[in-house]
């Protein structure tokens, strides 16, 4: 077993995996890494299952020291990672020798970095997953939903006999926010005013600072729902819901399982991965896509992890 | 009943069975749930029931949207309400007291009933569990009598104690864990509503019925209840 000692952390540094499934009918949220694409690449670099537990580091402020020689992989945002003061770029596996310090300083590109270990970091599975959901007191190192804390230890049991590698350049996701975010049209989209539908897909939306793992609010021209008040119903990942103030909220992994605000549809998984890397203040556009096309794109993308 | 299927996400379809909340929906909802689970089998990721809908989240690597729609259509052919799928009957002990249920007085004022009558009326009716949501094991139950119905608080509390029993409109519920909340609180139950060690995890499931039973402070403590007043926990 290899160990890392956590020397610094924040409430935004969490153990995550692909999420908690099969229990949403009990009111248990999905959870899981917000940028599933970077998380999957971090695991891929080590030959792990794509759902192995990783550390999700949001914005920085996370430092670990190797207690034995370790092999790790880093993907996602460039949070100014350094090994003993020397810059470490993401999208690669690397060695961290005993006593070496890996530090995440500040966001240079993107918002969330994923640190993976051979076989995944050790953590109990609670209701089938190690994903940390603070609000529900589920997952994480102790199973009680606590963020990774200074003084705790991360360990893994996988083999360190791994060929180090870098993700081929053409596979490295583009974190620039200019590509529009695809929204699968559906839900109550027919009950929004024509003007609102035009505005939704033709105006620029600014990411509000009111953003967490439950959802991200978009600021812009208010959208007007003209339908009847809704009875609460299941909320899919990425749902773009519009509360009475007209400012859409994109619902993320830790969202409530059911809710009663009307929705335009839901972001595609690839759009969600990109949104998860945007910082407050970023400008984004929404682009409509139909379910079949989005489905084909997603299935094609998943082939890359083979 | 004429089910409609709507697109809600790349890998999720909403099956809409009804347009109104009604106790009579439940046998149909349970039958449809059972049938959909069987039809999707291993390709089902989650089935999220609510009052009038069932959201099907399926494995997009195994099924195309068209295949998922076909499975839903097949599952709903000749659907009939299954009388044998009636749920469990729960009795939840509740210590009704102003220190843990400060809106008892508000409900009393609104209804013109005495506090004792509010308690009696809340605890004499049998409620149905319509849906679980908001938090693990949080069961939306109803319907409470018109006279006890009250809108949610204008400003939700930042912290509602675990076990708190409340009313919102014509629904009633108990908070499984400490959470923010805007329901009118009338008491507290010592029952463990969500338990990761329990088979099925949640004490209550959609289709179950629930009755609240008023207990004394001593009984509440005996049953493991925490009587810390609400204000002291804020």
Render pLDDT for B30-53 as a digit per residue (tens, 0 to 9).
999 999 999 999 999 999 999 999
Answer whether B138 touches A (CB < 8 Å).
yes
CB contact under 8 A, B50 and A232: yes
- In this predicted structure, the answer to whether residue A185 has a pLDDT above a threshold of 70 is yes
The CATH architecture one would assign to domain A181-303 is Beta Barrel (2.40)
Residues of B in contact with A234 (CB under 8 A): 8, 12, 14, 48-50, 53-55, 57
The nearest CA of chain A is from the CA of B55 a distance in Å of 6
The nearest CA of chain B is from the CA of A165 a distance in Å of 27
The nearest CA of chain B is from the CA of A10 a distance in Å of 22
Answer whether B190 touches A (CB < 8 Å).
no
ipTM greater than 0.95: yes
Residues of B in contact with A19 (CB under 8 A): none
**Per-residue tens of pLDDT for chain B, all 234 residues:** 789 999 999 999 999 999 999 889 999 999 999 999 999 999 999 999 999 999 999 999 999 999 999 999 999 998 988 766 568 999 999 999 999 999 999 999 999 999 999 999 999 999 999 999 999 999 999 999 999 999 999 888 989 999 999 999 999 999 999 988 999 999 999 999 999 999 999 999 998 999 999 999 999 999 999 999 987 665
Dihedral sign for Cα B8, B11, B16, B19, please: negative
CATH 2.40.100.10: which residues of chain A?
Answer: 181-303
Residues of B in contact with A259 (CB under 8 A): 133
Share of chain B above pLDDT 90, in %: 85
Best A126, A183, A236, A269 residue to mutate vs chain B (most B CBs within 10 Å):
A236
The full set of domains in chain B, from first to last, is 4-85 (3.30.1360.40), 89-233 (2.40.100.10)
Spatial CA neighbour of A275 closest among A77, A115, A127: A77
Q: Residues 69-128, chain B: which have Cβ within 8 Å of A?
A: none
Which of B60, B131, B201 faces A298 most closely, judged by CB atoms? B60
CB contact under 8 A, A25 and B61: no
pLDDT, position B233: 60
Which of B14, B21, B194 faces A234 most closely, judged by CB atoms? B14
Element (H, E) at A301: helix A291-303
CB contact under 8 A, B135 and A233: no
| pLDDT tens figures, B149-169 | 999 998 889 899 999 999 999
């Amino acid at each position: 077993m290899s160990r890392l000692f956590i020397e610094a952390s924040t409430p935004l540094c969490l153990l995550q995996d692909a999420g908690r499934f099969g229990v949403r009918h009990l009111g248990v949220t999905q959870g899981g890494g917000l940028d599933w694409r970077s998380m999957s690449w971090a695991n891929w670099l080590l030959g792990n299952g794509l759902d192995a537990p990783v550390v999700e580091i949001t914005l920085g402020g996370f430092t670990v020291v190797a207690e034995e020689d370790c092999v790790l992989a880093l993907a996602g945002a460039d949070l100014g990672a350094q090994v003993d003061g020397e810059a470490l770029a993401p999208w690669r596996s690397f060695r961290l020798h005993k006593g070496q310090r890996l530090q995440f300083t500040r966001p240079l590109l993107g918002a969330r970095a994923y640190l993976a270990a051979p076989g995944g970091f050790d953590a109990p599975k609670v209701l089938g997953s190690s994903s940390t959901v603070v609000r529900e007191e589920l997952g994480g190192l102790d199973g009680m939903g606590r963020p990774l804390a200074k003084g705790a230890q991360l360990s893994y049991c996988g083999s360190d006999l791994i060929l180090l590698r870098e993700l081929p350049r053409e596979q490295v996701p583009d974190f620039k926010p200019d590509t529009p975010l695809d929204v699968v049209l559906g839900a109550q989209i027919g009950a929004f005013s024509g003007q609102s539908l035009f505005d939704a897909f033709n105006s620029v939306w600014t990411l509000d600072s009111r953003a967490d793992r439950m959802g991200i609010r978009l600021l812009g021209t208010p959208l007007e729902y003209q339908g009847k008040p809704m009875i609460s119903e299941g909320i899919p990942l990425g749902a773009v819901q519009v509360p009475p103030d007209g400012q859409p909220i994109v619902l993320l992994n830790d969202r409530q399982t059911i809710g009663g605000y009307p929705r335009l549809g839901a972001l595609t998984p690839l759009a969600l991965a990109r949104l998860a890397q945007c910082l407050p203040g970023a400008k984004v556009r929404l682009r409509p896509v139909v379910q079949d096309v989005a489905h084909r794109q997603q299935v094609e993308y998943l082939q890359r992890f083979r | 009943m004429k089910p409609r299927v709507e697109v809600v996400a790349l890998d999720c379809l909403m099956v809409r069975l009804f347009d109104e909340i009604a106790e009579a929906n439940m046998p149909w909802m349970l039958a449809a749930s059972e049938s959909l689970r069987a039809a999707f089998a291993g390709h089902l990721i989650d089935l999220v029931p609510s009052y009038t809908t069932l959201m099907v989240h399926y494995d997009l690597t195994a099924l195309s949207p068209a295949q998922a729609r076909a499975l839903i259509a097949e599952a709903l052919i000749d659907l009939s309400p299954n009388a044998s799928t009636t749920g469990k009957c729960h009795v939840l002990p509740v210590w009704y007291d102003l220190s843990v249920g400060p809106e008892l007085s508000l409900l009393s004022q609104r209804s013109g009933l005495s506090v004792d009558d509010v308690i009696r009326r809340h605890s004499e009716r049998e409620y149905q569990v319509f849906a679980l949501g908001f938090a693990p094991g949080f069961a939306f139950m109803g319907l409470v009598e018109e006279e006890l119905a009250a809108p949610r608080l204008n400003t939700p509390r930042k912290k509602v104690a675990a076990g708190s029993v409340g009313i919102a409109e014509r629904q009633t519920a108990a908070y499984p864990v400490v959470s923010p909340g805007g329901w009118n609180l009338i008491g507290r139950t010592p029952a463990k509503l969500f338990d990761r060690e329990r088979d099925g995890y949640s004490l209550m499931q959609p289709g179950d019925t629930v009755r609240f039973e008023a207990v004394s402070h001593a009984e509440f403590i005996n049953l493991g209840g925490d009587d810390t007043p609400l204000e002291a926990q804020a």
